[in-house]
């Protein structure tokens, strides 16, 4: 018997039922309607990211502008002091008022009264001349005029033909002058200052350590990095510090980059023995990026260490420029 005759219901005449046989899987898949909330969230994320970037950009530009303004203030301030130091002429009106010469300590039986002309052979320096002592009279007058503004004054440091030409201060810690000017006002550039462990009389320090910021404007101790050039190092060998005791003349022997998280011995100020001191000096010289062969040390030597940051990504790095005392002019 024919199967189609036994099951007539398998041949539907209903058009809807018939169309089901021609459907494909994708024809009956229910598509998810787009989520308007997701689109809105995406826009908010993008706008938020743009706003954040804009805020960071504005903050960065503001910080740069603030830094540049601080540099300009510091440069103008210390340029003014340097010009004042150079222009001080006590034969005319003193901009600080009456000249006050330092008084001689009663315990000091060697140094002549400040202002006394020293002749060759007099107590206080066999190699001194009348011209030298007159120069010291002028320097002492200048220093005392500056000391009237700040009693922390130690002296004045200069390296000819560089931007280092600043007053040096000294106080009870190594923090205050990081952000205070010579006149003790807030200044981001701070001041050039000696380590609190040192004495103001440089002759009493085995290692006089002096700090200064490495300013992007090229001021303060920024030019210390230039000493890594052999030619620059050789052309700028002498550092002068003007004090009431005399003009201390140092000759450079080492320029280094130091990792202070591993070794801070370069700013050592106390040595148990003369041998320890000589070994220290030789170690610093041997580690120098620029080698010299004209310096030898003995236990009676005095050295100077000038330290500044590197302005690099590593906050633990410092530049160290060191020099040995070769002369005291009085």
* CATH code of the domain covering residue 190: 2.40.260.10
Please, are residues 109 and 307 in contact by the beta-carbon 8 Å criterion? no
The encoded tokens of residue 120 equal 């060759």
When the pLDDT of each residue in the chain is averaged and rounded to a whole number, the result is 79
Tell me the three state secondary structure of residue 294.
coil
**What's the pLDDT tens digit per position in 112-144?**
333 333 333 333 333 444 455 788 888 998 999
Residue 300 and residue 173 share a domain: yes
Q: What is the pLDDT of residue 38?
A: 67
Is 234 part of any domain? yes
Together in a domain, 98 and 157? no
- Which residues face 248 on adjacent strands? 241, 328
Q: Is the same domain home to 211 and 161?
A: yes
What is the mean predicted confidence (pLDDT) over 175-185? Answer: 95
pTM: 0.70
* 17-21, 92-96, 264-268, range with the lowest pLDDT: 92-96
The verdict on 304 and 199 lying in the same domain is yes
Task: Please give the backbone phi and psi of residue 324, each rounded to the nearest 5 degrees, phi first.
Answer: -110, 140
pLDDT digits (tens, 9 = 90+) for 56-81: 666 555 544 455 556 677 778 888 88
- In this structure, the answer to whether residues 141 and 269 fall within a common structural domain is no
232, 226 contact by CB (below 8 A): yes
Same domain (yes/no): 246, 101 = no
Does residue 253 register a pLDDT over 60? yes
Model pLDDT, residue 20: 58
Using alpha carbons only, give the angle 228, 229, 230 rounded to the nearest 5 degrees: 110
Whether residues 231 and 119 fall in one domain: no
Percent of the chain with pLDDT over 90: 52
Q: Residue 163 falls within a domain, yes or no? A: yes
In the chain, the number of structural domains is 2
- Where is average pLDDT lowest: 17-26, 40-49, 263-272? 17-26
Strand 317-329 relative to strand 246-259: parallel, antiparallel, unpaired? antiparallel
Full residue range of the structural domain in which residue 118 is found: 88-148
pLDDT at 54 over 50: yes
In whole angstroms, what is the distance from residue 167 CA to residue 161 CA?
Answer: 17
Question: Once rounded to an integer, what is the mean pLDDT over residues 234-253?
Answer: 96
- Whether residue 272 is predicted with pLDDT greater than 80 in this model: the reply is yes
Interval 250-272 mean pLDDT: 95
Q: Does any domain span residue 160?
A: yes
Q: Centre a 10 Å sphere on the Cβ of residue 297 and count the other Cβ atoms it contains.
A: 18
Residue 26, pLDDT score: 60
pLDDT above 70 (res 32) = no
Greater confidence, 58 or 269? Answer: 269
pLDDT above 80 (res 210): yes
104 is a domain residue: yes
Tell me the pLDDT band of 248, cut-offs 50, 70 and 90. very high
- Identify whether residues 123 and 159 lie together within a single domain: no
Residues 96 and 205 reside in one and the same domain = no
What's the confidence (pLDDT) of residue 58? 62
**Is 249 found in the same domain as 123?**
no
- Is residue 184, in this structure, part of any structural domain at all? yes
Alpha carbons 143 and 134: distance in angstroms, whole number: 14
Please tell me the distance from the alpha carbon of residue 318 to that of residue 308, in angstroms, as a whole number. 6
At 206 the pLDDT is: 97
Calpha distance 135→330 (Å, rounded): 8
Based on the domain organization, do 188 and 248 belong to the same domain? yes
**pLDDT confidence band for 203 (50 / 70 / 90):** very high
Q: Coil, strand or helix: which one is 191?
A: coil
d(CA 77, CA 75): 5
Given a cut of 70, whether residue 150 has pLDDT beyond it is: yes
Q: What is the pLDDT of residue 34?
A: 57
**pLDDT at residue 302 in the model:** 98
One domain, residues 93 and 143: yes
Residue 97 confidence (pLDDT): 38
């Amino acid at each position: 018997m024919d199967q189609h005759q036994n099951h007539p219901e398998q041949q539907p005449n209903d058009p809807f039922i018939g169309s089901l046989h021609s459907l494909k899987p994708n024809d009956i898949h229910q598509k998810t309607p787009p989520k308007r909330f997701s689109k809105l969230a995406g826009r908010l994320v993008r706008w938020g990211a743009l706003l954040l970037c804009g805020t960071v950009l504005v903050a960065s530009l503001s910080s740069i502008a603030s830094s540049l303004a601080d540099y300009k203030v510091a440069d103008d301030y210390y340029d003014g002091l340097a010009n004042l130091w150079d222009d001080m002429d006590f034969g005319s009106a003193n901009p600080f008022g009456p000249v006050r010469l330092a008084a001689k300590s009663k315990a000091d039986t060697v140094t002549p009264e400040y202002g006394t002309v020293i002749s060759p052979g007099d107590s206080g320096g066999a190699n001194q001349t009348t011209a030298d002592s007159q120069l010291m009279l002028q320097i002492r007058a200048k220093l005392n005029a500056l000391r009237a503004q700040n009693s922390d004054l130690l002296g004045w440091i200069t390296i000819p033909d560089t931007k280092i030409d600043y007053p040096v201060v000294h106080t009870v810690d190594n923090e205050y002058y990081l952000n205070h000017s010579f006149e003790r006002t807030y200044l981001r550039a701070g001041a050039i200052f000696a380590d609190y462990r040192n004495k103001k009389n440089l002759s009493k320090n085995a290692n006089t350590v002096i700090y200064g910021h490495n300013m992007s404007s090229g001021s303060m101790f920024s030019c210390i990095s230039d000493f890594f050039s052999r030619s620059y190092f050789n052309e700028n060998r002498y550092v002068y510090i003007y004090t009431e005791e005399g003009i201390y003349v140092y000759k450079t022997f080492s320029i280094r980059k130091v990792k202070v998280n591993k070794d801070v011995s370069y700013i050592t100020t106390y040595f148990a023995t003369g041998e320890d001191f000589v070994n220290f000096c030789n170690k610093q010289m041997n580690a120098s990026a620029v080698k010299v062969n004209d310096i030898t040390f003995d236990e009676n030597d005095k050295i100077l260490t000038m330290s500044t940051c590197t302005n690099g990504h590593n906050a633990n790095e410092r530049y160290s420029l060191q020099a040995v005392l070769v002369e005291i002019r009085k």
